[in-house]
Structure 1
Amino acid sequence: MYTVALKVDVDTYAGTRDGVPRLIEIMEKAGIHATFYFSMGPDNSGKAIRRIFTRKGFLQKMLRTGAPSAYGIKTMLYGTLLPAPQIAASFPEILKRTRTAGHETGVHCWDHVYWHDYLPRLSDAKVASQLDQGAQLFQEIMGTRPATTAAPGWTVSAASLKLQDAMQLDYCSDSRGYAPFYPVFDGKRYATLQIPSTWPTMDEILGSDGVTAQNINDFYLSQLKEGLNVHTIHAEMEGGVMSDSFADLIERLKKKGVRFITLGEAAAEYRKDAPEAGMAMGELPGRAGLVAIQAPLS
């Protein structure tokens, strides 16, 4: 059986305001549910411009994927020439609406850019502050502590994994890989189940190797395998300029008889038999910088 779990990363103020409602509408029409991870704190997207100088391939990726038109000029200035707006505090009703519509919700981060760019250099206390701020605001808005988190840019450290264990989360989705697993990172085994993303994201493949906005869904259908497929989408892309493409992908997958589940449902199904696997920061095609990648234990 083909099973697809949709993971929605919500990175920005505009993505929360505009992209999330659009994705809810698309999924409601299709009769499916997903797992949404919300950035809870300030939108400092403009500060990502530093990656031009620190991450090989970042500028080419921005140009290849049409990021300025997808994310908008205002978003790309937040935290620099424009003040960084608060995301979740500005749209608590959208977070609540997402859950009311039947979707699973979790914490993506407090400050997306700060985590993504600085995590390896952060002390345990600073990592804890980032997770705690996000979790506390999530609880204020939703009335419950988050049961799941997903690291921005699939960026992890020993400190972040240790703190996720301390939070007693149901599972996390911080990695790229092939099947659910319990991570062994820098020689230490962690207790929180990982549900890795198994397909490349739109921004990794769009404009590369002949993949265009017109044929990208052909590519995704070619990635479909028996068992669990985890597809990460972004509120800013699939909920924005590529929303029609995403709606088409859902319809094509449904025609193939795909079963759609949330990541929480995947965790419940795979938890008992999930093996240990290595996890380390490494490179992936189409992505600037390092990401957490699942690997078999040697």
Structure 2
Amino acid sequence: MPTIVLKIDVDTFRGTREGVPNLVRLLKKHQAGATFLFSLGKDHTGWALRRAFRPGFFQKVSRTSVLEHYGLKTLMYGVLLPAPDIGSCTKEMQAVRDAGFECGIHTWDHVVWQDNVRQRGLEWTRDHMQQAHQRFQQIFGDTPKTHGAAGWQMNPHAFAQLDQFGMRYASDGRAMLKEDGSLQDPAAGPYRLQTEGTVRSCIQMPTTLPTLDELLGRDINGLVISESNIAANILELTAIPKDHVFTLHAELEGQKLAPIFEELLTGWHKQGYRCISMADYYQSIKDSELPVRPLSWASLPGRSGELVALI
């Protein structure tokens, strides 16, 4: 039976307190598994406004109604309002674990990591990752088993740190997509990453489907993707059975776009898919048969900037 690996990025304080409980209820209703990846430090979402000077940023903002989905208060964190500590949402995070879902690390400070890590060195990278690792242990009383990079941004030191943490699998990058959201390489899937001449032990599970914010508002083959047809568009991409990794966000699918996510869950069930966690997917991977790929970067349709990519 083909699988959809559900990887949930939790970026903000509001997403943790409101979106996460909503997603737990929805996943339970549909008997679906998932992995929740938490941001664990301060919510500096307001600092992301500096990205306004990047190519494609305003186009993405206008398409995805950032203000509507994240809320004005969240967009002011770190600018006009103090940045709240996401790691203080202990009860909400522990409730996810207690409901039977896998929990892992997304990042320490989402905006700081996404905007800086590619250019940073060993000490900076290690410091950020160790802060997240320690906070995770404080909250859950256990060591994290997995990781999913904020904004799909990493560097060679970060990948080496995953091995030092003893993580066996992570989802830090993307598979390359065509303009319509389909895979450039239909065989794209888990792989072993090589950085600085070393093949890393932590297996990478790249996201293989476009995210909702990458599709909304775009014109694809003469059809403008809207909230009314986006689920059908993604289900068309999964019509041919194949294992996929789908990244969703507590701030989107856990709130205003929850009906779309529920439509996807229902559609995937009808297509014969099981929705599972990264941990469950890892159990099915034959490590010895995985390809080895170098660290690569590329841009994807509907998203500004370059990401870690499977090329």
TM range (shorter): over 0.9
Give the unaligned 5+ runs of structure 2. 176-187
Q: Find out whether 1:104 has 2:102 as its counterpart.
A: yes
Aligned to 1:250: 265
For the Cα contact (< 8 Å) 1:12–1:43, is it kept in 2? yes
1:56-89 deviation digits (Å, cap 9, x = unpaired): 1111101110110000001111011111000022
Paired with 2:76 and 2:140, the residues of 1 have a C-alpha distance of: 29
TM-score (norm 1): 0.95
Paired with 2:13 and 2:80, the residues of 1 have a C-alpha distance of: 16
Q: Find out whether 1:142 has 2:156 as its counterpart.
A: no
Q: Find out whether 1:83 has 2:73 as its counterpart.
A: no
Give the unaligned 5+ runs of structure 1. none
Q: Find out whether 1:215 has 2:213 as its counterpart.
A: no
TM-score (norm 2): 0.92
Aligned to 2:191: 181
Paired with 1:97 and 1:200, the residues of 2 have a C-alpha distance of: 28
Aligned to 1:171: 169
Paired with 2:57 and 2:263, the residues of 1 have a C-alpha distance of: 29
Aligned residues: 293
Trace 1:63-82 onto structure 2 (pairs within 5 A).
63-82=62-81
Secondary structure (helix, strand or coil) at the match of 1:289 reads coil
Aligned to 2:302: 286
Secondary structure (helix, strand or coil) at the match of 2:284 reads helix
Paired with 1:277 and 1:101, the residues of 2 have a C-alpha distance of: 36
Q: Which runs of 4+ in 1 moved over 3 A?
A: 185-188
Aligned to 2:250: 235
For the Cα contact (< 8 Å) 2:3–2:274, is it kept in 1? yes
Paired with 1:59 and 1:75, the residues of 2 have a C-alpha distance of: 18
For the Cα contact (< 8 Å) 1:193–1:271, is it kept in 2? no
Q: Percent identity?
A: 37
CA RMSD of aligned residues (A): 1.2
Aligned to 2:61: 62
* Pairwise CA distance, 1:99: 0.9
* Pairwise CA distance, 1:240: 0.9
Aligned to 1:5: 5
